[in-house]
Structure 1
Amino acid sequence: VPPSIYKPPKERKQLEEIKTKNIQKAKVTNTKQFRCATIKPEKREFLYRIISAVLILWPQISCEQYLEVVWESVLTPYFEELTIQIDNIPIKLNTAAILREGALYQRKLEEELKRVENLQQGAGDPSEFLEWQKQMRGKDLEEQLAEIECRRLQGKLSYEEAVLAHQNVIQENKKKADLLREEKTELMHLYAEKRLQEQKEMKELVEQVMEGHKNVKQVKAKIQEYKQQIVQRVCEESGELLRKALEEKEEKNRKRYELIQQIRAIESTPSIRQKFVDLTETGGHGLFGEMSIVELRERLALLKEEQKAAEEEKRDQIIHEKQAKEQLILDKLDQISQFRAELGRAAALKQEEKKKSQSGERPMKDERILNLQKKIVEKTMERKKQAGLL
């Protein structure tokens, strides 16, 4: 009996393990499916503050007062803290970002200096400029309206001209049609006259042919004699041309044979296999600035040295430029850090002043709330009193 009958297959065991793992994953997913709806820790405190403000102030104030209190006590500090956090987000600065931010701060500094200088010199009221700008805009608008009106009138004029031109074309076509009719009538008359003339000439030609038949034999004899003369002349000319062609061909073959003999004689002469070269002598080609191989090698060595020196100089220049650029980046970073520190101090001072002003206004606002509550109570009592009297 084979052992496979008593042992379960491996595939079934693997499928059961996969099934168990999937069931565990499904359970974990079901337990964590509402995790996205939980409150983040940084927002939980903000929500608790809103709820506490609502529970404390709800029975005392109306809806508008509730919104004002919630905005001043909870939302305003939260948004201020959020703004400070956004402003203080660390940003990874590369070279382009550093230069761009440095240029931005430099431009702001120049604008501020220019503004201060203008204030020291006594900047004028821009109302005159605004009035002039308004007048110029009105003038431009009037010019545009006039231009539009001109275009409209030009379009109307073009339409009228087109209609008139169409009418003129119709009249010209009528005149041309009348002229063509007259020309056609005249041509018909001319054709009739020409036809009569041709018939007359044909009649005369027939009469001449009839007379010519009488001298046919004489004409044939003359033609035969003329043809024989032509054949004889052609035979003589063709023989002369053939003789000239044969002479030219013989001359051409003779020249070719002489050329072949010269080439064979040149090939049969022995050639010098070894050639001694003096490297200090020039080629003797008569060129301007001709040099020997030794001079060329020396010139090449000098050029290589000059090229190497130029490369070294270029390398040093690149290193200096790189160092200068790094120093510029460091200066820009120092400038950016100083500007950021100044902006942070200015924002902190502004925040403190705002808190002081809010702390100074809050008692007054609380006093106003109490007065309003008192007035509400009085009005309620009066309303109930009036209701009792009724």
Structure 2
Amino acid sequence: MAYYGKCIETVIEQLNKFKPEKDIPEQFLEAASTSLQTLSPQKQAFILEVLSGCLEYRKLLAVVVDAFYVRAGWLCRRADYNLFEVICYLATFQLDELGFQLFSDIIRSQPLDKMCKFLGFLFNPLSLCSWIKDEWSLIYETAHVSENWIDPLMRWQPEVQELIKQLEKVMTNQSPLPKTKAKVTEPKEFNLTVPRPRAIPVPEPVPVMTKPKPIPRSTYHPPKEQEQLEMTRRYNRWKAEELLLKVNIEEMRCAVPRSRGTTLVQGSEKKLQLRFMPRILKTPKLTFYKPNNVPVKLNTAAILREGSLYQRQVEKELQRVDKLVDGAGDFSEFLEWQKKMQAKDQEEALAAGECRRLQGKLSREEAILARQLLRQGNKQKADQKKEETAELMQQCAERRLQEERSMKELVEQVIEVQKNVKVAQMKLLKGRRQIVQEVIEESRELLQRTAEAAKEEQKRRCELIAQHRALETQPMRKGKLVDLTQIPGYGLEGEMSVVELRERLALLKETQQRKEEEKRDQIIQAKRARSQGLQNMVEQISLCRAAMGRSAALRWEQKKAQSAAPGPPSQDQRVLELRRRIEESAAERRKQAASGPISAPRAPRPKPRLLRTPRATSVLSLRNLYGGACASAWRSGRDAGATRK
């Protein structure tokens, strides 16, 4: 009984390792056969046969075991699932081959209460002839199930019922184990030593704390530089806001006509002054400091780059003076021609800007006309589309009737094909059984060959280990005497001892250190000379910058004077042509509007709001305050000019 119990335990262990979603049964059986080589051939054959059968008929066995847990095995553990599968396989497929005596020995080797429940559930004639037969018939054919599995189980039913009764008698005759009376612990007294009286401890000296350093004033008071920077920042901001206020007022004075916009600008100036009054002026007794002209710190590359630039400019100026001394021509005529060409280019730019504005207006008029024509075309297309959809609906109805006829024919063909499927399944099952038997025979032969090869490999390894141990037992020299003052004598040029080599390396190290110190001194001198040259170049750059700033200020004043002078009105042919085309398109649009109602153009999409800083909001509020006034004044002036023309 213990022999069969161990075999069943090994089968259950292998089934617990099997995972159907990952493992393949054939590969799993090969791995199991390699792991069971240590067992005897009889045990190995029995275990592999039961394991392969449980894997092959897993679906059939799962039907019975799952129903057992639902109906009769509520108190059984889920860990015994594979045990019930093995017993079900032996009772259904191997009972005739094993014999009833061997089957009863296997049953007695397992827990008796579990076996009684399961055998009573499995060999119940009502369940065998009703739901078990129906469930197995869904997987295999009904004739095959009733002939090969249900009928043998019904024949063995009387013997199995007697076995169940014997097991129940054995369970009732087993006397419960006598309860041994637990020993009561007896308490014992602790053998403790009497403590000695403690002596009075010597008081420890009071530690003297070192006097801490006073807290510096900078911890609670900010530095003066920070206050000065804050004051200069406020002063600069107030100056910038005042300058922006003046610029905006000047722009509005230029944009608004004198007759209408004088009172508006004056009122807006007062509002802007109140709006842009700096917050610093609200607090009395304030002092303002002008920022110091701190020079910008430049690196070496910037100094050299700027110095070479100014040097090239000076050289060019000297060459120009030399050419003038030698009698070269002056650039006055060229400059006059250049001014004329610039004035001409400016006139062309103004004309081009006017052309772009008129082109936008013309495109708007053309868009309105195109929208009117598009609406008429869309009505015609909609009528055509309705006629086409009616034709398509009629075609779809005819196509559905044809599809229904074809589906009926297809269903009849599928029913005929399903009748031939059962015959093909029987042939496939027979072929699979033959393949499984061949695979089992081949696996047995392979196992024998691998066992013989493993024995030979074990013998060869034992021989190699014995040889290696014999070599380790031989004595060997562990030390060697070395004389550092002795020359090896290999016959090489410059051959020397280790002591002499060390002395020469020390001398070489000293010479290298001396060379490094000399090179370091040279580098320091070169750095000093280079810094002196850079300082001289910085002084030259500051002088050149001052001169360039003065010349730039003069040029800016000249340019500002030129831009302030008003230019003559442009009489470009392109502008006149665009105005004529705009008038024609407006007249045509009015005719179309008189002939039929026109929908208003679509309003532009609102732009999303953006998060702005306080300073940006102040500038935008200034622009929005005067935007409406400037735009209305500009439109009124433009309409008046158009009426005059």
TM-score, length-scaled by structure 2: 0.23
Determine which structure has the larger helix proportion and give its number: 1
TM-score, length-scaled by structure 1: 0.34
Larger Rg: 1
Higher RCO (C-alpha under 8 Å, 6+ residues apart): 1
